[in-house]
Amino acid sequence: MDLIQLGWHPFFEACFDEHKQNGLVPGRIARENRNNYLILTADGDLLGEVSGKFRHNASRFGDFPAVGDWVALSPRFDEGRGTIQAVLPRRTKFSRKAVLSGGMPETGGQLEEQVMAANIDTAFLVTGLDNEFNPRRLERYVTIAWDSGAAPVVILNKIDLIDDPDEYVRTVEEIAVGVPVLTVSALNKTGLNSFADHFKPGQTAVFLGSSGTGKSTIINGLLGDERQLTREVREYDSRGRHTTTSRELIVIPDSGIVIDTPGLREIAAFDDSDGLSKTFDDIECLAQECRFNDCTHNTEPGCAVRKAIEEGRLSPGRLENYRKMQKEAAYLALRRDQRARIKETEKWKKITKMIRVRTKIDPKLK
């Protein structure tokens, strides 16, 4: 398998020049295990782990390799192993916030970025047309997909369970303007040919959605076999049992690359870029017509947003979700600023301490 089939891009070629001079080879992370990684290379698959120097220099959880990352490694092909020396810069990344230690952020817990998938071109957002369908959750997924840098595509699965999927398509088109919507039945393998327009050789797509939406079943259909383990969902709440337990990158012969992910019970963005504006462009356009620039869309006179709700042109739930996600973005921005200030303070403390030690050794340095 050559690098192009694995998703190699001129962007990575330019970033890899210095590593190539040091005798390293490129590889792509296909799976994360507890202490090692499955890495795909042009010369075969390797089990790898990060070097001691890499581990020492990594300052954040998000610095470590994630599924989809390209890495520079020292290979030992005769042993089937390799040592990761560096992670190449990411073109795109799908991240969420994660509290790693010390409880919740409000009680002093450490808020970190969890990179779920890296270097993705398309984010397939899968939802089932059963009890799982939730427009508010879908708004959140679309926002985070825009923030990732990938192109979102909404997949409405299980059309075999309903009479009129067009009603659901219209709902999605109203909350995700301009985002393609595909209707499929993974169980009956209908509609899978519609993926071809959004999934080309050498391109990488990530499948995201709650447990039981049929992500793995769709991937099985694209693969033409039952590689991904699937189970029946519970009828009373349409939930699966998280049959995909870890993220995995899979190369589909003569097609693109897919990343399957475990079902997500909840998800919150880590970044606060323009994804919110893209997803809720209708609300932000309406807000420009409000009488006051600082309108909160509550009781102010001349509020175009409240008028749209009263006239049935905007859902109250959509406005509520927009406000909720705005608050989350503001909170995350504040936490990142606090952390940046703490890191800057710690850096200068170390520099000051180092200067003091050196001046004690050599007073001439004062």
Instruction: Write down the pLDDT at residue 338.
Output: 59
Per-residue pLDDT, averaged over 18-24, amounts to 92
pLDDT tens across 94-135, in order? 887 664 544 444 444 566 778 889 999 999 999 999 877 888
Instruction: Write down the pLDDT at residue 235.
Output: 43
Separation CA 234–CA 237 (nearest Å): 6
Looking at per-residue pLDDT, the higher value among 157 and 101 belongs to 157
Give the up-direction half-sphere exposure of residue 64: CA atoms within 13 A in the CB hemisphere. Answer: 20
Looking at per-residue pLDDT, the higher value among 206 and 132 belongs to 206
Give the up-direction half-sphere exposure of residue 270: CA atoms within 13 A in the CB hemisphere. Answer: 17
Instruction: Write down the pLDDT at residue 105.
Output: 45
Instruction: Write down the pLDDT at residue 119.
Output: 95
Instruction: Write down the pLDDT at residue 329.
Output: 74
6 pLDDT higher than 80: yes
- Tell me the pLDDT band of 172, cut-offs 50, 70 and 90: very high
- Tell me the pLDDT band of 59, cut-offs 50, 70 and 90: confident
The percent of residues in the chain predicted with pLDDT above 90, rounded, is 36
305 pLDDT higher than 70: yes
183 pLDDT higher than 50: yes
Instruction: Write down the pLDDT at residue 104.
Output: 45
Per-residue pLDDT, averaged over 3-12, amounts to 92
52 pLDDT higher than 80: yes
Instruction: Write down the pLDDT at residue 366.
Output: 54
Instruction: Write down the pLDDT at residue 75.
Output: 94
pLDDT tens across 234-261, in order? 343 444 444 444 788 999 887 889 998 8
The percent of residues in the chain predicted with pLDDT above 70, rounded, is 77
Instruction: Write down the pLDDT at residue 111.
Output: 64
Instruction: Write down the pLDDT at residue 361.
Output: 63
Instruction: Write down the pLDDT at residue 241.
Output: 44
Looking at per-residue pLDDT, the higher value among 13 and 365 belongs to 13
Separation CA 106–CA 352 (nearest Å): 31
11 pLDDT higher than 70: yes
Looking at per-residue pLDDT, the higher value among 146 and 337 belongs to 146
